[in-house]
Structures are given as structure tokens and as C-alpha cells.
Amino acid sequence: AVQLVESGGGLVQPGGSLRLSCAASGFTFSQDAMTWVRRPPGKRLEWVSTISGGGGQTYYADSVKGRFTIARDNTKNMLFLQLNNLKTDDTAMYYCARPRNDGWSGDNWARYYNWGQGTQVTVAV
């Protein structure tokens, strides 16, 4: 069975950094693009970033561009999200998700096969 397990969330002050990880299993990780999605408290899901299967192509939401970096280690079936210069608006539950490979998924949530349980990021003084 496919499993996605996130870790690395926590409480951090504005301007701080965190590194989120997602351990994947149950599928051929290197063949699939992977995505980070977040849900701020009381708000809808937001697409954050996507990385191609080989890692050579990355995409970011405008709200995080220049501050967040997505990466993957296909030798260890791991997905990462480096969060720098965090803002209070970045407070959210962060999920890693596995999208369908036949085109762009973005914020079309029906196009995602699998989701992790999430890891909470709280940015506060």
C-alpha cells in the first residue's frame, strides 16, 4: 500500500526556517511528480509546490517563491520542503501528495492519488 508520512513541522518565529520531510513507500517514487499542499486554519487547501519525478523541474506558488525550496532524494524515497523566511501567513497543515502523471494537477485535488497525514507548521511570535 502507498504511504506518505510527513515530519518536520513545528512552532517557529517569523523569519525562521523549517525543513519538512515526506517518506514515501509503496510505489515507484522516482517515476512520479510530487507535491506539497497546505491548509491554513479555517481556509481551503492551497497548492504550494511540485517537483518532477527526476527532480529537474520545480514549480512554486507565487506566495512562497523565493522562500521555499522543494527537493527530493530518489535513492531514499524522500521528498523535502525547505521553508525559509517564514511568515505568519505560512501557518498551516502541510501535506505531501502524489498527483496523477498525465498532466498538470496543481490545485485540482481530484487528480491526486495519495495524501499524507500532514505536519503542522505554526509561525508565531
By the 10 Å C-beta count (0-12 exposed, 13-18 middle, 19+ buried), 61 is classed as middle
Distance CA(34)–CA(71), nearest Å, equals: 10
pLDDT > 70: percent of the chain? 100
pLDDT confidence of residue 102: 84
Question: Which tens digits make up the pLDDT trace of 91-105?
Answer: 999 999 999 988 889
Q: Is the pLDDT of residue 11 over 90?
A: yes
How much is the average pLDDT of 16-43? 97
Question: Which tens digits make up the pLDDT trace of 49-80?
Answer: 999 999 999 999 999 999 999 999 999 999 99
